[in-house]
Amino acid sequence: MTSSRHYKLRVEIETFNGTLKYAEYGTFNVSDENSNFTLTIDDYTGNLGDAMHNNNNMMFSTSDKDNDQRLTTCVSATGWQGGWWFNGESNKVCSLSNLNGKYLNEDQNKWTAYKGIVWKTKLKGELWYSFKSSKMTIFPVDASFDNLGFNENSNNDY
């Protein structure tokens, strides 16, 4: 993603009942290794909600490379799972999204669901919810949606 071409990001999330939602970002870039793969993301549209707004300008963190802003790492065996652009500022949660979390079944514990595939914006009755699946698609800004095979689902209920 270090080329001079401009890209968009589309995230699709699926619930365990088959509902599909999407979030799209008109500005998307990941810097090179020397900058710890810093994320630039903006210009949200979609029907999923903007769960990546506090990840903007964050460096990618993994269990062996802590780049978040917290004194202790956001990625740990007892905390968030998988590498991600965690923020972790003292007044913010590590993230409202993590598509690299563990796969949790639909009988998940709502107190540990943040360890799963998370996109927290408009959830009904749950503190956190881990989704069945997610897909991230990166495409040039000038790409036509007709050729990308995106799914639309007008069902707004999770």
The CATH number covering residue 133 comes to 3.90.215
Number of domains forming the structure of the chain = 1
For the chain, which ranges sit under pLDDT 70?
1-4, 77-78, 90-91, 110, 122-127, 144-158
On whether residue 24 sits in a domain, the answer given is yes
User: Is-contact 20 151, C-beta < 8 A?
Assistant: yes
Sign of CA dihedral 82, 86, 91, 92: negative
For residue 135, the model assigns a pLDDT of 95
pTM value is 0.83
d(CA 60, CA 48): 23
For residue 147, the model assigns a pLDDT of 54
For residue 24, the model assigns a pLDDT of 96
Residues near 90 by Cβ (< 8 Å), separated by ≥ 6?
Answer: 69, 70
